[in-house]
Amino acid sequence: MTTAIEVKGINKQFVLRHSRSIKEAFVWLIKGRKGDLSEKFHALKGVDLDVKQGETVALLGFNGSGKSTLLKHISGVMIPDTGTVRTRGRVAGLIEVGAGFHHDLSGRDNVYLNGAILGMTEDQINERFQSIVDFAEIGDFIDTEVKFYSSGMYLRLAFSVAVHTDPEVFLVDEILAVGDEPFQKKCIAKIQELAGQGKTLVVVSHDLDLVSRICGRGVLLDHGEIIFDGPIHDAVAKMRGQ
Ligand SMILES: Nc1ncnc2c1ncn2[C@@H]1O[C@H](COP(=O)(O)OP(=O)(O)OP(=O)(O)O)[C@@H](O)[C@H]1O
């Protein structure tokens, strides 16, 4: 089977504290600038992950375990300090609601902007425009500037554009949480449809029942390390401490 996502030994550290007192900086200077003045946090520690085409994977773990950071590396919005990430085919990600949207533009203009960013041509967007608006169900608001949208409306339009790009690899972070129940159901049905078409899916969620329904594989992260990788039901049982 073809590999869709290949993550090899990635490490990511974040700077937690930039500022230091003058005294600390002075001591650091007279000691010959030894060590690092800023405090670092190791968010991903040598993570390896291989996802085959058509696999549906849930990234699970407690708050701060590194799930979103890993997903951002797969989508390419973050670059690892060391290690490599490779993806095959068109990747569409719903990582942060409204990311890639320009606040002062209308929904319509943002469909074109976001669609282009995600790799669609103008003709493809023209062709799919009505379907994008219909799926989002935001009606006349399509010509309103998106800064006046509610977070649910942002999600509707962003999700709709992303699924209409016909991605090979679809990445979804917890964002479905801001949609109302009918729209969530519609998104889940769409995600299941994509999975049924053999698309690769990586989902970050705390909703264990939901991921059990849409994913086949569960990857459990703990303090930036993968501690379990296997069938979703085993991963969920582990999360629940069973
Ligand atoms: N840009 C950043 N700068 C500093 N620290 C960050 C940054 N992004 C993430 N972190 C830290 O990295 C750790 C992992 O964050 P991440 O968002 O990946 O966790 P998560 O598993 O998705 O958590 P949650 O379930 O709360 O969404 C957290 O401790 C977070 O504070």
User: pLDDT tens, 71-94?
Assistant: 999 998 899 999 999 999 888 877
Task: Please give the distance, rounded to the nearest whole angstrom, from the Cα atom of residue 48 to the centre of ligand 1.
Answer: 18
Of 5-19, 56-70, 135-149, 224-238, the one with minimum mean pLDDT is 5-19
DSSP assignment of 13-68? EEEEE----HHHHHHHHHTTS-S-SSEEEEEEEEEEEEEETT-EEEEE-STTSSHH
Query: Ligand 1: which residue has its CA nearest to atom 9?
Result: 69
Q: Is the ipTM of this complex over 0.90?
A: yes
Q: Is the CB of 14 under 6 A from ligand 1?
A: yes
- Under 8 Å between Cβ of 13 and 42: yes
Q: What is the distance between the alpha carbons of residues 29 and 21, in angstroms, rounded to a whole number?
A: 12
Query: Ligand 1: which residue has its CA nearest to atom 29?
Result: 64
Enumerate the β-bridge partners of residue 56. Answer: 201
The full set of domain ranges for the chain reads 52-239
User: pLDDT tens, 97-139?
Assistant: 666 788 999 999 999 998 888 888 999 999 999 999 999 999 8
Q: Is the CB of 64 under 6 A from ligand 1?
A: yes
- Under 8 Å between Cβ of 195 and 201: yes
Look at domain 52-239 and name its CATH class: alpha beta
- Under 8 Å between Cβ of 136 and 160: yes
